[in-house]
Structure 1
């Protein structure tokens, strides 16, 4: 791996988001992180015994629980999350650039 230089890349700034397709790519990256967080949080929420909670569990609560889990995941992703959105965003941009380059 000698010779490989990586530069830290953070979230896009206003100039990057003004480029064509960048805002859509950033939204897709954030949505991906929220989905991944939702998958990580689902087993945690599923393990909570809601029968003795303030709402008493039941079919109604179990029907709404996946939506609660997903909203919590979206909130966490929007406020920093695990840091997945940034590398996913930059990878999306690299793939878009590679797709638009003329074939040699």
Structure 2
């Protein structure tokens, strides 16, 4: 392959990448860009990952009979715990994320965390 063909191919790939990125960015709704929601979602994910090891190694023969079904649903339960922890105050990750996101967006004022 000669150098002009390679440059044309690279240019096409770059243009396609930029077009795809802009279409994905424009597809995001204003709600998805909301710093409060993004911060809460991130904090929920972090908390879920932090508490996940507490459930490793536990036998699943508890009140629901155990088995593969209970094992498969454990991740949903852990995610729900993380979301509830965030809803009831969390550990402050959400407020920190909101502050940094607002700085990145160029906002002048930072809303009080709830």
TM-score by length of 1: 0.67
Matches within 5 A, 1:1-104: 24-51=34-61, 53-97=62-106
Computing the radius of gyration from Cα coordinates, the structure with the larger value is 2
Q: Which has the higher helix share?
A: 2
RMSD (Å), alpha carbons: 2.0
User: What stretches of structure 2 of length at least 5 have no aligned partner?
Assistant: 1-29, 108-114
User: Distance in 1 between the 2:56 and 2:65 partners?
Assistant: 15
Cα deviation, residue 68, structure 1? 0.4
Cα deviation, residue 67, structure 1? 0.3
SS of residue matched to 1:82: coil
